[in-house]
Amino acid sequence: MRVTVEIVGEGEDEVVIDDDGTYADVVRAVGYSPHEVSVLVDDSPVPEDQPVAVDRVRVLRLIKGGTR
């Protein structure tokens, strides 16, 4: 299954996951941990363990960068 992933404020990427993949699989495919992002479908958050049912999602990073 192909999924277009918009990482809010950073751009878009297209990933391929298994047909029975979850939103956590999508997040990992773009290089993030499910603990540091929220996945949005139609601007509503979805559980990370839910099977992917759409071909486009938005990923909102909750943790970004830091200062030294």
Q: What is the pTM for the complete model shown?
A: 0.88
**Residues pairing with 61 in the sheet:** 37
Which tens digits make up the pLDDT trace of 6-56? 999 999 999 999 999 999 999 999 999 999 999 999 999 999 999 999 999
**Residues pairing with 51 in the sheet:** 22
For residue 52, CA distances in Å to 23, 26, 30, 68 come to 6, 8, 15, 38
Residues near 21 by Cβ (< 8 Å), separated by ≥ 6? 1, 51, 52
Quick one: pLDDT band at residue 68, thresholds 50, 70, 90?
low
pLDDT of 64: 64
pLDDT of 42: 96
Q: Which CATH number fits domain 2-61: 3.10.20.30, 3.20.20.70, 3.40.50.300, 3.30.450.20?
A: 3.10.20.30
Burial class (CB in 10 A: 0-12, 13-18, 19+), 47: exposed
